[in-house]
Amino acid sequence: MKTISLILPVRNEAGLIREQLQRLQCYRAKGHEVIVIDGGSVDATVQQTQGLVDKCEVSAAGRSNQMNQGAEGAKGGVLLFLHADTELPFDADERIFSVLSAQGRRWGWFDVRLSKPQPAFRMVASMMNLRARLTSVSTGDQALFVEKELFQQIGGFPQLALMEDIAISKLLRRQGRPTSPAGLATTSSRRWEENGVASTILLMWRLRFLYFIGVKPQRLREMYYPSHD
């Protein structure tokens, strides 16, 4: 039977992680595995995973390190990288296998909606989905999934302090077109709520532009994370 390894890179998510893992128990019941890789939490994140995961490990900080470590020991034929604050659509596993099989694709992501229903948040989600489809570049909020064999073939996530989602998407799109199953993943709007919709959009555009012109990801991380990390 085909199986998926759901890999969650987390850090200081004690307030979210248990509820997220409880939602994922339906996939464990179907033979898939759930792996949490903690990047050095100073709260009770690791303790909150007890009894709800197949594996919980601690790694060096940084999502690239965390996701690569999770993938290294994963047993599933498909890897799905999931944030602690992103909820998968119903029967995400069946949706993934259906499109991979029917379309002959090897990687993809889900379109998203934000957790708040206000028009501004719906606009943000629409922009994210449109940009991803036009560029074949996924964001971390979109639950990227990829066949493990292909992931290993490209060398996993590049070791970047930020923009690892853009970097791996560019590697993957050289190997073939992505797919996007039916159904929406629901990701938290907390980033936009905390810092304002317009301010957050402008910051993300700025970071992407600076990355495009060659600014080092470590510098971009310093610009992005002071209010988040």
| CA 153/CA 175 separation, integer angstroms | 10
Q: Does 229 have pLDDT greater than 60?
A: no
Out of 4-8, 45-49, 131-135, least confident range: 131-135
Q: Tell me: the pLDDT tens digits for 171-205? A: 999 999 999 999 999 998 877 667 666 677 666 66
Distances in Å between the alpha carbon of 66 and those of 11, 26, 72, 103, 119?
A: 10, 24, 10, 30, 34
93 burial (CB, 10 Å; 0-12 / 13-18 / 19+) is buried
Q: What is the C-alpha to C-alpha distance for residues 172 and 133, in angstroms, rounded to an integer?
A: 14
Range picked from 106-115, 122-131, 154-163 for highest mean pLDDT: 106-115
> Is the confidence at residue 226, as pLDDT, over 70?
no
Q: What mean pLDDT is reported for the chain?
A: 89
The predicted-structure confidence for 14-27, as pLDDT tens digits, reads as follows 999 999 999 999 99
pLDDT of residue 140: 86
Checking if the pLDDT of 51 tops 90, the result is: yes
Reported confidence tier of residue 56, pLDDT bands at 50, 70, 90: very high
Q: What are the chain's domains?
A: 4-188 (3.90.550.10)
pLDDT at 209 over 70: no
| HEC profile of the chain | CCCEEEEEEECCCCCCHHHHHHHCHHHHHCCCEEEEEECCCCCCHHHHCCCCCCEEEECCCCHHHHHHHHHHCCCCCEEEECCCCEECCCCHHHHHHHHHHHHCCCEECCEEEECCCCHHHHHHHHHHHHHHHHHCCCCHHHCCEEEHHHHHHHCCCCCCCCCHHHHHHHHHHCCCCCECCCCEEEECCHHHHHHCHHHHHHHHHHHHHHHHCCCCHHHHHHHHCCCCC
Mean pLDDT for 43-60 is 96
pLDDT band at residue 137 under the 50/70/90 scheme:
very high
Position 227 scores a pLDDT of: 45
pTM of the model: 0.87
